[in-house]
Amino acid sequence: MKTCPVCDGSLKREDNFITYKYKNYTKEIMQSGEYCTKCGEAFLSSKDLKASQKEIADCSRRSHSDTPPINTRTASRFVLGHLADEYSDSFC
């Protein structure tokens, strides 16, 4: 049996729900991996991560789809206006 490199507890292969947080979104994801029975630390292989990759990508994609697009013209005018006010005394 494998032992935990953090606390020397035993590792057990299982599926656990983990909470994935991205910006203002939170999602519970079923994550396969080896979990320590003593400290709860998770050890995930590339195969384990690949299995949950789609759900994580969906969560971040959802976050970006709810963000309104920036109006670059308005943002540029705002920034340039503040720069002009800040440096107007320098050019007199």
What tens digit of pLDDT does each residue of 58-86 get?
Answer: 777 766 665 555 555 555 555 555 555 55
The answer as to whether 82 is a domain residue is yes
Q: What is the CATH number of the domain that holds 75?
A: 3.10.20
Q: At residue 11, does pLDDT exceed 90? A: yes
Distance separating alpha carbons of residues 13 and 45, to the nearest angstrom? 11
Per-residue confidence band for 32, with pLDDT thresholds at 50, 70 and 90? very high
Range of the domain at 77: 11-91
The answer as to whether 66 is a domain residue is yes
pTM value?
0.57
Per-residue confidence band for 45, with pLDDT thresholds at 50, 70 and 90? very high
Report how many domains make up the chain.
1
Q: Indicate the SS3 state at residue 4.
A: coil
The answer as to whether 4 is a domain residue is no
